Amino acid sequence: MRVQGHDYSLQGAYFLTLCLKERILVFGDVKDGEMHLNELGRFVEREWQNVANTYPGVSLDSFVVMPDHVHGIVMIDDCVNHTNNGAIHESPLQPTERRKMTISRLVGRFKTVTAKWINSMRGTPGQAVWQRNYHDRIIRDSFELHRIREYIAANPSRWGTDKTVVTD
C-alpha cells in the first residue's frame, strides 16, 4: 500500500484513511448528512487532534471520524528530521539526532492508544480494533490538497452512497 521507495519521513502532506476491522460501525451515526460521534468516536477524534501535540513538526489539516473509519491529512514539516535538544529520554545537554518521524510510526501509535481505550470501554481486551494496514496518498500539489479537503468535508453527506477512498 505504500509507494515503493518513498521516504515517509519527508516533508509533505499525506492523506490517510484508517478503517476499523471488518468495517464495524463503532464511532457513531450519520444522520441527515452529518456525523454524530458517540463516546468512542469523540475519544478517537481527541486522540487524532492530539497527534500534533505528540509529534513536534507534525500538524493536522482536515479530518473526519466516520462510523467505521477516519480520514485525515497529516503535514510533516522539514524541522522534524533535524537535530534536536532535549527529546524525551535524552539528555538535554547533548544534542542528538532524533529518529525520523514517519507516517507509519504516527499511525501505529494512534491505533495502539485508541485500540487499548476502545477495548477497555467495550470489555474486549486484546481484540483487534483497526484493520492491519491503512491507505495513504502523498499529496502532490495545492489543487490535490484542496480536492482532498473537499472529499473529507463531504464524506458524511455521501455516507451510504459512496464507500470509496480517493486515489487519484
In this prediction, residue 7 has a pLDDT band, given cuts at 50, 70 and 90, of low
Considering only CA atoms, which of 37, 91, 39, 85 is closest in space to residue 64? 37
Position 65 scores a pLDDT of: 98
**The pLDDT of residue 10 is above 80:** no
7 vs 91: which has the higher pLDDT: 7
| Range name among 11-20, 83-92, 137-146 with the lowest pLDDT average | 83-92
Considering only CA atoms, which of 138, 134, 131, 133 is closest in space to residue 167? 138
**The pLDDT of residue 87 is above 90:** no
Position 84 scores a pLDDT of: 40
**The pLDDT of residue 167 is above 80:** no
Residue 142 has a CB neighbour count (10 Å cut-off) of 9
In this prediction, residue 59 has a pLDDT band, given cuts at 50, 70 and 90, of very high
In this prediction, residue 61 has a pLDDT band, given cuts at 50, 70 and 90, of very high
Position 8 scores a pLDDT of: 66
Position 11 scores a pLDDT of: 85
**The pLDDT of residue 164 is above 80:** no
In this prediction, residue 15 has a pLDDT band, given cuts at 50, 70 and 90, of very high
Considering only CA atoms, which of 167, 164, 146, 168 is closest in space to residue 155? 164
Read off the pLDDT of residues 122-139 as tens digits, 9 standing for 90 and up: 999 999 999 999 999 999
The H-or-E segment that residue 43 falls in is helix 39-54
